[in-house]
């Protein structure tokens, strides 16, 4: 095998099948070997082209190998910049913090301390849980059914996906799961939480915090209303609870504004972010914490790779792209394109399909059909050159996650393929 990766040698799948752990998953859904990516297009080693509606599960909001972001990373590498710094001071980290402050937080009137908990979203969620429990002196947390917050034990206790919970092998506790408003539209979930806290016979311990995704990603693309979010803020204030927003997937401009909760005019106590905060897929996560809740002592939460300097460089460049290229407005424009396309085409496929989403984060719900239908759609899309994922209960929601920067023609081509495939699958379902 040629160890110089010059894209001329061919890699065989056997190396992965023989040596890589059985836990691998995405490669089973897209069984080719990828070599390069640019913008919203991926290429395998046979030079086949794929439209990317997976977007690194939301990690590539600004496209693959974004020229501006990549250029800043290459310049830093060429200058022998510090690569690993734990949580020591560095130019790269300082400039990221200052840029986040100047371009994002200050213009919105937000006052947050920036915490670097480690390189992944679950690190940020774990840190948020520690902060809430220490600040309030209570262990219980309220979380919504359908939420996905990570795979380490603390964040997994918040996550409701059965297969993920079953795999951990221990009892997951200190969380009360509340029905998502979309699950029981007739139920006032805010009033229900209020009752659980206020009623001395509810049997539920008063929580330290409520954690929500304003747009559930893995749960099926369910959007919390602005009114619900405002009432959730009021509930937390009433009962001395912290409101934590998990913006790991829905943040960084994906829903039309940098933070997904801005539309409601609320200020969470903690915001956790990862995925596209690293710019072009660099591993990074942050927790934004109101100063009065910055209660962890030095070293009470740490991690070796919370100081990955390339992520700071790429993250700073991504923030500059977002503002200077007006990507929030571009995301809202793309939302209009996607919404019109899906709401025009999908009803013609079947009248029992629901379209949900905002920004460049959408789902088409095939819950009225066998789960095999959605699996078949994902397979057919891949065969026709579109990579997308499924989500929701029993993976029956076809999930579209485009980059904010995707060109209109590629976006429309991809949407056309997806709708054609869905129509074929409905007309000729797998038995």
Q: Quick: pLDDT tens for 335-367.
A: 999 999 999 999 999 999 999 999 999 999 999
**Range 403-425 average pLDDT:** 98
Which pLDDT belongs to residue 1?
Answer: 40
In the numeric block, which tokens belong to residue 390?
């499924």
Helix, strand, coil percentages for the chain (3-state, nearest 5) = 40, 15, 40
**Range 57-74 average pLDDT:** 97
Q: For 145-159, write each residue's pLDDT tens digit.
A: 999 999 999 999 999
**Range 11-19 average pLDDT:** 90
Per-residue pLDDT for 8 more than 80?
no
* pLDDT band at residue 331 using 50, 70 and 90 as cut-offs: very high
Domain at 25-58+329-427: CATH architecture: Alpha-Beta Complex (3.90)
CA nearest neighbour of 121 among 270, 252, 283? 283
Q: For 171-205, write each residue's pLDDT tens digit.
A: 999 999 999 999 999 999 999 999 999 999 999 99
Which phi and psi (to 5°) does residue 230 adopt?
A: -65, -40
Q: For 21-30, write each residue's pLDDT tens digit.
A: 999 999 899 9
Contact yes or no for 222/157 (Cβ under 8 A)? no
Which pLDDT belongs to residue 2?
Answer: 47
Fold of 71-324: 3.40.640
Contact yes or no for 398/378 (Cβ under 8 A)? yes
Contact yes or no for 408/337 (Cβ under 8 A)? yes
- Strands (DSSP E) contained in 127-269 are 141-144, 175-178, 209-212, 215-216, 222-223, 242-246
* pLDDT band at residue 6 using 50, 70 and 90 as cut-offs: low
What whole-number percentage of the chain has pLDDT above 70? 98
Task: Check residue 42 and give left, alpha or beta (phi > 0: left; psi -120 to 50: alpha).
Answer: beta
b/e code 259-284 from CB counts within 10 Å (16+ = b): bbbbbbebbbbbbbbbbbbbbbbbbb
Cα angle, residue 326 at apex, residues 322 and 332 outer, rounded to 5°? 100
b/e code 335-353 from CB counts within 10 Å (16+ = b): bebbeebbeebbeebeeeb
Per-residue pLDDT for 4 more than 90?
no
How far apart are alpha carbons 336 and 413 in whole angstroms? 16
User: Residue 430: CB partners within 8 Å, gap ≥ 6?
Assistant: 370, 372, 373, 376
- CATH 3.40.640.10 residue ranges of the chain are 71-324
* pLDDT band at residue 99 using 50, 70 and 90 as cut-offs: very high
Q: For 291-321, write each residue's pLDDT tens digit.
A: 999 999 999 999 999 989 999 999 999 999 9
Of 2 and 337, the structure prediction assigns the larger pLDDT to 337
User: Residue 397: CB partners within 8 Å, gap ≥ 6?
Assistant: 220, 221, 363, 364, 365, 366, 367, 374, 390, 391
Of 287 and 7, the structure prediction assigns the larger pLDDT to 287
Mean pLDDT of the chain: 96
- CATH 3.90.1150.10 residue ranges of the chain are 25-58+329-427
Which pLDDT belongs to residue 47?
Answer: 96
Per-residue pLDDT for 384 more than 80?
yes
């Amino acid at each position: 095998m040629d160890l110089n990766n010059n894209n001329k040698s061919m890699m065989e799948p056997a190396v992965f099948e023989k040596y890589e752990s059985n836990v691998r998953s995405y490669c089973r859904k897209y069984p080719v070997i990828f070599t390069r990516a640019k913008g919203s297009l991926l290429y395998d080693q046979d030079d086949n082209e794929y439209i990317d509606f997976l977007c690194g599960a939301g990690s590539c909001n600004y496209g693959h190998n974004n020229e501006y972001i990549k250029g800043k990373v290459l310049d830093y590498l060429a200058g022998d910049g510090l690569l690993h710094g734990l949580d020591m001071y560095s130019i790269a980290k300082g400039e990221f913090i200052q840029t986040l402050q100047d371009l994002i937080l200050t213009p919105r009137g937000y006052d947050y301390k920036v915490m670097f908990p480690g390189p992944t979203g679950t690190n940020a969620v774990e840190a948020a849980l520690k902060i809430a429990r220490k600040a309030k002196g209570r262990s219980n947390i309220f979380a919504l059914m359908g939420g996905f917050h990570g795979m380490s034990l603390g964040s997994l206790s918040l996550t409701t996906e059965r297969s993920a919970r079953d795999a951990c092998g221990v009892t997951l506790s200190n969380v009360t799961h509340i029905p998502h408003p979309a699950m029981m539209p007739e139920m006032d979930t805010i009033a229900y939480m209020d009752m659980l806290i206020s009623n001395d016979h509810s049997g539920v311990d008063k929580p330290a915090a409520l954690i929500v995704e304003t747009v559930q990603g893995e749960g099926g693309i369910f959007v919390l209303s602005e009114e619900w979010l405002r009432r959730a803020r009021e509930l937390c204030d009433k009962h001395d609870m912290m409101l934590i927003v998990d913006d790991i997937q829905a943040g960084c401009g994906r829903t039309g504004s940098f933070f997904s909760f801005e539309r409601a005019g609320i200020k969470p106590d903690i915001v956790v972010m990862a995925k596209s905060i690293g710019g072009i897929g660099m591993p990074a996560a942050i927790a934004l914490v109101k100063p009065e809740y910055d209660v962890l002592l030095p070293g009470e939460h740490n991690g070796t790779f919370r100081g990955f300097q390339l992520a700071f460089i790429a993250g700073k460049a991504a923030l500059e792209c977002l503002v200077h290229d007006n990507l929030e407005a571009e995301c809202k424009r793309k939302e209009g394109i996607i919404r019109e396309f899906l709401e025009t085409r999908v009803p013609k496929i079947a009248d029992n399909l629901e379209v949900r989403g905002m920004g460049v984060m959408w789902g088409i719900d095939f819950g009225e059909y066998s789960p095999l239908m959605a699996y078949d759609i994902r397979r057919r899309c891949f065969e026709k050159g579109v990579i997308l994922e499924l989500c929701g209960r029993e993976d029956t929601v076809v999930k579209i996650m485009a980059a904010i920067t995707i060109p209109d023609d590629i976006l429309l081509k991809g949407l056309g393929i997806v709708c054609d495939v869905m129509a074929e699958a409905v007309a000729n379902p797998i038995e």
